Amino acid sequence: MTYALVRRLPLLGRVRLVEADSALVRLDLEGKGALPPLPQAEERATPLLEAAAAQLADYLAGARRAFDLPLAPKGTDFQKKVWRALLAIPYGETRAYKAIAAAVGSPRACRAVGLANNRNPIAVIIPCHRVIGADGRLGGYGGGLELKAALLRLEQEAAGRG
């Protein structure tokens, strides 16, 4: 069964968390448009979805640096390899697309890493916002560049306190 929970969170606005088979499979950001329909999911506040919402709220308050949630993002083997590499980027730090490509054993696959980032179904929790261009530019972000910059600023400020 698939369950979904919609919450309004600081900085992010409305988000939808989606659980399937006792793991988090999606985090949809409302962004500039409405949340896309998800007819196959039953709206229910499961313990996992409530924990995910609470951990996100703590993260956004600068009180959490890592998430402790079962994740099962759906994607290709390469995408999953990239997403695992993103989880290894320390809080408050960034990595270039090129560095992620090298980390997954495909040093010439910068564009493929960018596409995997773009397809990340659990943004923020799988921290694709920590990936930037080799020249230091932000690059793209599904939630918008303003949000990406705000998340990076939040992490850098919180890391500076700790």
pLDDT digits 0-9 by tens, 123-133:
999 999 999 99
Which segments of the chain are extended strands (E)?
Answer: 2-9, 13-20, 23-29, 42-43, 95-96, 131-132
What confidence tens digit (pLDDT) does each residue in 55-90 have? 999 999 999 999 999 999 999 999 999 999 999 999
pTM score: 0.94
Query: What is the band of 30 on the pLDDT scale with cuts at 50, 70, 90?
Result: confident
Length in residues, the chain? 162
Give the phi and the psi of residue 122 in degrees, each rounded to 5: -130, 55
88 and 51, same structural domain? no
Decide if pLDDT at 161 tops 70: no
Mean of pLDDT values over 7-20: 94
**Domain CATH for 84:** 1.10.10.10
What is the DSSP code (8-state) at residue 65? S
The catalytically annotated residue of 128, 147, 152, 154 is: 128
Q: How many domains does the chain have?
A: 2
What domain range includes position 52? 2-60
For residue 128, indicate whether it is catalytic.
Answer: yes
